[in-house]
Amino acid sequence: MQQALKLGIATADTDEQVGVVMLTVKLDQHSSPTLCKASKAPVRLEMQLPADVKRSDFKALASMVEAQCWKTIYPMVPEGMRDEDGTVEVRAPMFVLLSAAAQAPGTPRRQVIAQREYFWQHLLRDQPVNSIGRVSVYYQANAQGKVEGCLVQLYPHPLRPNDFRLDGKLQAELNSRCLAMDLSRLPGFSADMHGVAKGHSALEYAPWRVGRQ
């Protein structure tokens, strides 16, 4: 569970964030998050961070960690680890070391993350879903950003393969939305010498992620 959240934080579309928080996460019987609350960590944990790195403002750090907690797709918790009502609550320290260099807007890594966020906002954020999975979006656009071709594919999420279902209606809707997109404002958008821009982005979806920024 913590590994899934750490990966989500490591790929967050955010500026420099450094610090540690105590994070309380509660999952229901379907391993969907019902509580994500960050609080200040003890000084002994703060001291484990590099001494020469400036710490982020706690409120900003806590807000980012909580946002990623709500958006993370968690593996199913084994029955033996759950409470009688099927839920599970975990409280653990969450160390964040997203340096300014790693989060710089111009780096290839940040560009991939920003592009994924752009597609999330325009394709999936307000799209109701009733299963868990991943989306691959392959696109071709002209130099002005008008989409001329889209291929949207749905496939299982490695942490929740049993909760995936191939939804033709969802796939068609996402493909239609993709064709209507203006990619001129897509981070890092550029056309080749023939005036053609091609690219790919990968997204994740789950019912509890709907509507989240």
- What pLDDT shows up at residue 31? 94
Strand boundaries in 100-142, DSSP class E: 133-142
Strand order of the β-sheet with 88-98 is: 33-40, 17-27, 88-98
pLDDT bracket for residue 2 (50, 70, 90): confident
27: alpha, beta or left, given left = phi > 0 and alpha = psi -120 to 50?
beta
Q: What angle do CA 104, 139, 117 make, to 5 degrees?
A: 35
Please report the pLDDT score of residue 53 as a whole number. Answer: 85
pLDDT tens column, 17-61: 899 999 999 999 999 999 999 999 999 999 999 888 889 999 999
With bands split at pLDDT 50, 70 and 90, how would you rate the model's confidence at 1? confident
Cβ atoms within 10 Å, residue 148: 12
**Strand locations in the chain (E):** 17-27, 33-40, 88-98, 133-142, 147-155, 196-205
Which residue type occupies 46?
E
Task: Write down the pLDDT at residue 71.
Answer: 93
pLDDT of residue 98: 85
- pLDDT at residue 64 above 80? yes
- Between 91 and 10, where is the model more confident? 91
Per DSSP (E only), the strands in 127-182 are 133-142, 147-155
Above 80 in pLDDT, residue 105? no
Q: Tell me if 17 sits within 8 A of 60, measured CB to CB.
A: yes
Q: What is the pLDDT of residues 150-189, one digit of tens each?
A: 999 999 999 999 999 999 999 999 999 999 999 999 999 9
Could you state, in order of their start, the residue ranges of all structural domains in the chain? 2-103, 108-209
Angle, helices 2-10 vs 58-71, to 10°: value is 120
What integer pLDDT is reported at residue 213 of this predicted model? 60
Whether this model's pTM surpasses 0.75:
yes
pLDDT single digits (tens) 109-159: 888 999 999 999 999 999 999 999 999 999 999 999 999 999 999 999 999
- 139 to 36, 101, 121, 129, 133: CA distances (angstroms): 35, 29, 16, 22, 20
